[in-house]
Structure 1
Amino acid sequence: MTDTGDGQEDDPGIQFLARRLAKEVDVSVAEARGLIKLIGTDWNSLVREARFLKERH
């Protein structure tokens, strides 16, 4: 995994959350990490935005 300089890529909690979001909403892990970076770790907000992202594809 590459480090973006914010330390987020190395955080196992963020990795777990990104994988969980990707599986739950069927988006890529990279998209999920991007949402986490933009929104934070609030699960409801992440799911809402990931579903919106998926509908746009």
Structure 2
Amino acid sequence: MGDDKEEGARLADRSRLAVHLAKDTGISEAQARDLIGMLGTDRNSLLREARLIYDQRLR
């Protein structure tokens, strides 16, 4: 049962991170969730890649 709580907390943390990443960079929450799935939760890496996605969208 403890594993279920840990998994739920991890998912909630990733969800909050996706919301903040989208808000901070201008990408969609779906794109943010995809990045988190690919890169993990390292904020610097996520910000770098999110900014690249946003910049490509502007071109």
Gaps of 5+ in 1: 1-6
Q: Which has the larger radius of gyration?
A: 2
- So what's the TM-score if we normalise by structure 1? 0.81
Partner letter of residue 36 of structure 1? I
* Alpha-carbon distance between aligned partners in 1 of 2:41 and 2:11, rounded to the nearest angstrom: 12
Aligned length: 49
Q: What is the Cα deviation at residue 54 of structure 1?
A: 0.6
* Structure 1 residue ranges (4+ consecutive) displaced by more than 6 angstroms after TM superposition: none
Is 1:56–2:56 an aligned residue pair? yes
Q: What is the Cα deviation at residue 15 of structure 1?
A: 0.3
Partner letter of residue 27 of structure 1? I
What RMSD in Å do the two structures reach over aligned CA positions? 1.4
More helix by share: 2
Deviations 1:8-56 (A, max 9, x none): xx81000000000000001100000000001110000000000001111
Task: Tell me the SS of whatever aligns to 2:13.
Answer: helix
Aligned identity (percent) is: 43
